[in-house]
Amino acid sequence: MRRRVAVGFLLGMVWAWPLRANERELFEVTMRRGQPFVSLMSVAQAFQANLRIIPDERAVNLQFDNQEASITDGTVLTLNRQLVVLSVAPYWRGGELFVPLDAVQKIFYVTVHWRIHTRQVAFSPALPPLQAQPRR
């Protein structure tokens, strides 16, 4: 019975996931030095996250659900006041910040579905592993 409740709860979390657009919305991937990047502005808009660009510091502050993130063009992301190291540094092109896919994964807690042949990426909610229940 507990497993059914846990699975139902997790499925409810999936249906309530905040990506308002099509859950399988595709984002264009830009390759740079052999690494995939995606526009943080495009992803934030699809997730309906609050995004604030600070041009003087070349930084972006982001609020999503209960997450607060601050990201610059360095390899360290501040996520809920904790420092998180990224695989590679984000970069600016025009007024847009392009981030590695692991940055999106960490900020929005998603699973990345990268279509390498079409250079597109989709995101889906990452489900936490079920806790092992002690047997009685």
Domains (ranges, CATH) in the chain?
2-125 (3.30.457.10)
Determine how β-strand 120-125 pairs with β-strand 110-115.
Answer: antiparallel
| Mean pLDDT for the stretch of residues 31-50 | 95
- What is the model's pLDDT at position 93? 94
Say if residue 41's pLDDT is above 50: yes
> Strand order of the sheet with strand 76-79?
50-54, 59-64, 67-71, 76-79, 82-85
pLDDT band at 4 (very low <50, low <70, confident <90, very high): very low
pLDDT tens for 42-98 read 999 999 999 999 988 999 999 998 889 999 989 999 999 999 999 999 999 988 999
Report d(CA 111, CA 66) in Å as an integer. Answer: 18
| pLDDT class of 125 with cuts at 50, 70, 90 | confident
Q: What is the pLDDT of residue 11?
A: 40
Residue 3 in this model has a pLDDT that exceeds 80: no
The per-residue pLDDT of the chain, averaged, comes to 82
Q: Residue 16's Cα: distance from chain center in Å?
A: 16
Q: Categorize the per-residue pLDDT at 37 as very low, low, confident or very high, splitting at 50, 70 and 90.
A: very high
Taking Cα atoms as reference points, which of 58, 96, 57, 60 lies closest to residue 79? Answer: 60
Q: What is the pTM of this model?
A: 0.75
